[in-house]
Amino acid sequence: MLFNRGSQVVLARDGDRTILTMANDFKGDPKEFAVVIPVPTVIRRDQIRVADRALMGHIDAYSAPRLVEYFDDNPCRPILLDKLELSATARGGAAQEQRGAQARSLGVTIEAQYTVGEYDILILSARESTGLETWLRQSNYRIPPGASSVLTNYIRQNMKFFVARVNLAEQSKLGYSVLRPIQVEYESPKFMLPIRLGTVNADGPQELFVYALSRRG
């Protein structure tokens, strides 16, 4: 089973546009990795990207607390104007058809599917949580116990589901040994961070670091 103890999310918001960048410290075999993210709209291919992990490190370092030491000038020190210096610094078609038919029989619709970087992506909608959970398990997604009640809440809000898992062949071809962050963009008046599904992946305490960005900082 795959477990997650810590996640980082960068949430950027500008008007109705939201960009989520997500990274986590998953523990387990990459072929068992799966992430299910509720989203308010059907996500297009051009709204999905794979980010550099250095981005998360940069934002984490930029937002970290700083210890700064200040020194007051000696008020009695003479100022030599002729030595004053100024300086500044800055810092397969058939298989897909069969899978679609199976999904529809369980009340699940495959709205879209893509391969982005080392990830296979599905955008799903569902009529009920049991059908969605059943289809995910039948499709070899490792859904942890307790997910059904959380899925029900999102389905009642008419949310779609962004589902990603690792394409091992693409990962090998790209040469990455560590999974890179996934970035998802959408337009919606809903301003939310749907994180409840992540809590069922815990086998103990979890840490979630959220970095919120806007034009105002």
pLDDT in tens, 39-49: 999 999 999 99
Lookup result for tokens 């038919």: 101
Q: At what angle do helices 129-138 and 147-156 cross, to 10 degrees?
A: 130
State the amino acid at position 201 in one-letter form. Answer: N
Q: What is the pLDDT of residue 203?
A: 56
Q: What is the pLDDT of residue 83?
A: 44
Provide the strand spans (E) within the chain.
6-14, 17-24, 34-39, 48-50, 108-116, 119-126, 160-166, 182-187, 207-213
* DSSP state for residue 30 in the 8-state scheme: G
Distances (CA, A) of 36 to 22, 33, 76, 143: 12, 10, 65, 9
pTM: 0.77
Q: What is the pLDDT of residue 192?
A: 87
Distances (CA, A) of 39 to 44, 150, 158, 167, 185: 12, 14, 9, 22, 10
Task: Assess contact for 182 and 35: CB atoms under 8 A.
Answer: yes
Distances (CA, A) of 71 to 39, 65, 68, 86: 50, 20, 10, 18
| Euclidean distance between CA atoms 182 and 11, whole angstroms | 12
SS3 94: helix
Query: For each successive 10 residues of the chain (217 residues), what is the average pLDDT?
Result: 66 95 80 87 97 88 76 63 44 64 90 96 94 90 78 92 93 89 95 71 70 87
